[in-house]
Structure 1
Amino acid sequence: MAEPVLKVENLKKYFPIKRGFIESLKGAPQRFVHAVDGVSFEIYKQQVFALVGESGCGKSTTGKLIVKLLEPTDGKIYLEGRDVTDIKTKEEILAYRRKVQMIFQDPFSSMNPRFRIFDVLEEPLLIHGIGETRAEREELIYKALEMVKITPPEDYVGRFPHMLSGGQRQRVAIARALILNPTFIVADEPVSMLDVSIRAEVLELMKELKEKTGVTYLYITHDMSTARYFADWMAVMYLGRIVEMGPAEKVIDNPLHPYTRALLAAVPEPKPERRNVIKELPIKGEVPSAVNIPPGCRFHPRCIYAQKGLCDAKQPQLIEYEHNHFAECHLVGKY
């Protein structure tokens, strides 16, 4: 079997909570936000791997750990078989960033408003020393804009970000990520701030670019409908852990975990024959605090199927219940 482009093992990120004056005097123990708490997965070449979940589940933090915007508390990150968890030197970070890029959720705030589009796209080339002359860099910039269908590029390179529509800005952000010819891209909710009418266009563009360039995506989203359309594999996150994982069609057509069922039940279904596949919303209450994680299965306070003495006492493991279909639940097949 081919080696994965990206592999993470037991990845964790805990953020310390600043103690108040009184807490310090009393010697209260340090508390942490368990943003990512033991996540493992593999992503193979030209695969779109979707990380799905509610806001605050840790999916964006996972993406930032992978692109080295944050340092992990524990765990390992491998890129093309090489352990890159603890790379520190400027040269190593630059080489890694050239291979691993990120598309941010908000295309406006991720660009310098004082930069023209030419400057936005030239900046990564200058940082990585690509293109000896301005003419060479200009050629690369024009090609990148043409790849994302911003044409003719000469009409756009002199504009500022606020002079473009939201869809055009996100296309420029995609061009900025691709201009270094990376191996892997973390796309953090790249269409959530766009009009519904152009979301499919941007996702279709990203699919085309995957085929042309051979890039691999980690697609972070809370939207199950776009994940179904765009992703090959899907992992569902809840409170810092992956609770279900497998091929996107399997996860959506045969969800094993109650939380996945709840997410799918909340998606409007235009096909009448599928509206009764999941008849109820199997969820209650609010997401628990990531500081005070519930004992046992962390979903049990909200699960209508939870069994006392089992779900609230023992942490389930991510187990393969079907071929390539994993779930972290004690009661798979019993509800």
Structure 2
Amino acid sequence: MAEPVLRVENLKKYFPIKRGLLAGLRGEPPRFVRAVDGVSFEVYKQEVFALVGESGCGKTTTGKLVMKLLEPTDGKIYLEGQDVTELKTQEEIKAYRRKVQMVFQDPFSSMNPRFRIYDVLEEPLLIHGIGETKAEREELIYKALEMVKIVPPEDYVGRHPHMLSGGQRQRVAIARALILNPTFIVADEPVSMLDVSIRAEVLELMKELKEKMGVTYLYITHDLSTARYFADHIAVMYLGRIVEMGPAKVVIDNPIHPYTRALLAAVPEPIPERRNIIKEVPIKGEVPNAANIPPGCRFHPRCLYMEKGLCDVKHPQLVEYEHNHWVECWLAGKI
């Protein structure tokens, strides 16, 4: 079997909580927000691997760890077999960042408002020393804009970000990520800020570019409906852990974990005749504080099927329920 492009092993990121003077004098132990708490997954060439979950589940932090925008507390990240967590020098990190690029959620705030579109796309080329002359860089910029269907490019290179629509800005952001010809792209909610009418267009564009350029995506989203359309594999995260993982069709059509079922129940009904039907979402309460994670299964305070003496005492492990379908639940197959 082919080696994965990206392999993440037991990845953790804990953020320390500042303590007051009295807490230190009383000898209280330090407290941490466990944003990512033991995540493992593999992404293969030209796949789209989706991390799905509510806000605060740790999916964006995972993406930032893969990008080396944050340093992990523990665990390993491998890109094409290279241990990324061991990269220390600026030269090594710079070479890594050329291979791994990110598309941010908000295309407006991720661009310098004083830059023209030409400057936005030229900046990564200058940083990485690509294109010896201005004419060479201009050719690469025009090709990148044509790839994302911003045509004719000469009509857009002189504009500033505020002069473009939201969809056009996100296409420019995708062009900026692709202009370095990366191996891997972390796409953090790339369509959540866009109008519903153009989300499918942008995702279809990203699919086309995946086939054309051989790029691999880590797709971060809270929207299971777009994950079903765009992703090959889905991992559902809750409170820093992956609770269910497998091929997109399997996870969507045969959800095992109660949290996955609750997320699917919350997706709006696409059939007009059924939109007025009120569906009961099988979940209760609010997401617990990541600094005070409950004992046992961390989903048990919100689970309608929780068994006392088991779910609230012992933490389940992520196990292979069926071929390539992984679930972290004591009641897998019993609900």
Give the TM-score band, short-chain normalised: over 0.9
1:136 is paired with a residue whose SS is helix
Separation in 1, partners of 2:269, 2:140: 43
Paired position in structure 1 for 2:248: 248
CA deviations on 1:148-190 (whole Å, 9 max, x unpaired) are 0001101111111011110000000000000000000000000
Paired position in structure 2 for 1:95: 95
Paired position in structure 1 for 2:290: 290
For structure 2, the residue ranges without an aligned partner over 5 or more in a row are none
What's the offset of the Cα at 1:271? 4.2
Separation in 2, partners of 1:253, 1:105: 28
1:12 counterpart = 2:2: no
Paired position in structure 2 for 1:301: 301
Paired position in structure 1 for 2:180: 180
Separation in 2, partners of 1:272, 1:160: 40
Paired position in structure 2 for 1:106: 106
What's the offset of the Cα at 1:279? 6.3
Paired position in structure 1 for 2:192: 192
What's the offset of the Cα at 1:334? 1.1
What's the offset of the Cα at 1:292? 0.7
Separation in 2, partners of 1:48, 1:258: 24
Paired position in structure 2 for 1:318: 318
What's the offset of the Cα at 1:273? 11
Letter in 2 for 1:116: R
Give 1:257-268 correspondences, 5 Å limit: 257-268=257-268
Give 1:216-235 correspondences, 5 Å limit: 216-235=216-235
What's the offset of the Cα at 1:25? 2.8
Separation in 2, partners of 1:144, 1:79: 25
Separation in 2, partners of 1:124, 1:279: 48
Letter in 2 for 1:29: P
Instruction: Give the aligned length.
Output: 333
Percent identity (aligned): 86
CA deviations on 1:6-44 (whole Å, 9 max, x unpaired) are 000000000001112322332321110000000000000
CA deviations on 1:244-296 (whole Å, 9 max, x unpaired) are 00000000000000000000000012248999xx9642210000110011111
Separation in 1, partners of 2:158, 2:274: 49
Separation in 1, partners of 2:114, 2:26: 49
For structure 1, the residue ranges without an aligned partner over 5 or more in a row are none
* More displaced 10-residue stretch of structure 1: 85-94 or 44-53: 85-94
Return the TM-score normalized by structure 2.
Answer: 0.97
2:191 is paired with a residue whose SS is coil
RMSD value over aligned CA atoms? Answer: 1.4
Residues 1:72 and 1:27: Cα distance change in structure 2 (over 3 Å): same
Paired position in structure 2 for 1:61: 61
CA deviations on 1:288-329 (whole Å, 9 max, x unpaired) are 110011111000000000000000111101111111111000
What's the offset of the Cα at 1:90? 1.1
Paired position in structure 1 for 2:31: 31
Residues 1:219 and 1:274: Cα distance change in structure 2 (over 3 Å): farther
1:159 counterpart = 2:166: no
Letter in 2 for 1:321: Y
What's the offset of the Cα at 1:86? 2.0
What's the offset of the Cα at 1:239? 0.1
Letter in 2 for 1:70: L
Letter in 2 for 1:66: V
1:236 counterpart = 2:236: yes
* More displaced 10-residue stretch of structure 1: 230-239 or 25-34: 25-34
Return the TM-score normalized by structure 1.
Answer: 0.97
CA deviations on 1:91-128 (whole Å, 9 max, x unpaired) are 10011000000000000000011111011000000000
CA deviations on 1:64-107 (whole Å, 9 max, x unpaired) are 00000000000000000111112011110011000000000000
